[in-house]
Amino acid sequence: MEIQLYFPGFGTEPDEAELRSRMRSERNRLLSECDWTQLPDSSVDKTAWAEYRQALRDAPDSWTPATVWIAPDKPS
C-alpha cells in the first residue's frame, strides 16, 4: 500500500526527520487499526496478522526517507 507523506504545493518539503516522523505516525495508525486481530476471540489468521504487524514494526529500520512509503499489504 502506497502512503503519501508529502503533497507538493502544500508547504515546504519536509526534511528527513519530519519524513521519518510522518512515516512512524502512519505506521502507528496501521498498527492500532489491527490491534483487534491479536485478541483471543478474533477469528482471523493470527499468524498472518502477526507477521504483518512485525513487518510494520520493522519498517522504520529498513525505510529510506522519501515522500512516499510503501507499507506492507494487509492479510486478506
Give the model confidence (pLDDT) of 13-64 as tens digits.
899 999 999 999 999 999 999 999 999 999 999 999 999 999 999 999 999 9
Report the 3 state secondary structure along 7-54: CCCCCCCCCHHHHHHHHHHHHHHHHHHCHHHHCCCCCCCHHHHHHHHH
User: pLDDT of 31-44, one tens digit each?
Assistant: 999 999 999 999 99
Higher pLDDT, residue 58 or 9: 58
Predicted TM-score of the model (pTM) = 0.89
pLDDT at 7: 87
